[in-house]
Amino acid sequence: MQQHDWSSIFRSSHVTPLLRSLHWLSVAACIRFKTLLLAYKSKNGPVPSYMRSMVKARSVPQVDDKHRDYFLSWLQ
């Protein structure tokens, strides 16, 4: 198997087509991903205090087996 020299490929080519090819998420999924990423970083990462205060932790409700399928479908 031949190994590629990725540094020379990326150095000699434009980055715009590469960035466009990476945008494979739908708009709704992209918004959800960015929102969840911001919430995760606000809770676990080094962020300013005003961002940390915007995210509040909440407890996950206990779901019995009878309602588990409904709850999981609601999360998706």
Cα(first)–Cα(last) distance of the chain, in Å? 41
Q: Which domain holds residue 51?
A: 6-75
pLDDT at 19: 65
Evaluate whether residue 46 is within a structural domain. yes
Within a domain: 1? no
Residue 14 in domain: yes
Give, in degrees to the nearest 5, the angle at Cα 44 between 42 and 37: 55
Predicted pLDDT of residue 63: 62
Going residue by residue through the chain (76 aa), what tens digit of pLDDT does each one get?
A: 455 555 555 666 676 776 677 677 777 888 888 888 888 888 888 888 888 887 776 666 666 666 666 555 555 4
52 is a domain residue: yes
What's the structural domain count of the chain?
1
49, part of any domain: yes
In a domain, 16, yes or no: yes
